[in-house]
Amino acid sequence: MFGIGFTELVLILVVALIVLGPERLVELSKEAGRVLRELRHASSRIHAEIEKVRENPEEKEQ
């Protein structure tokens, strides 16, 4: 995952926990999850639209 090993990931999480504290870290991880979910949905919609255009290239949007 991004060239980061397990040890490095644990170290990053420990430093984030120390710097941000447990409450703020939970808030940030929830927000990051929400943003990633929205990005996945947007990506899926864009992919579906591209596939739709590829299947029917003669139809143009109005």
Radius of gyration of the chain (CA): 19
Torsion of CA 27, 29, 35, 37, to 10 degrees: -120
The H-assigned helical ranges of the chain are 6-20, 22-55
> What CA–CA distance (Å, rounded) separates 43 from 18?
34
Q: What is the pLDDT of residue 56?
A: 84
Q: What is the pLDDT of residue 60?
A: 58
| 1 pLDDT more than 60 | no
Count of all residues that appear for the chain in the document: 62
* Whole-prediction pTM: 0.61
pLDDT band per the 50, 70, 90 thresholds, residue 57: confident
Residues 6 or more apart in contact with residue 1 via CB below 8 angstroms: 9
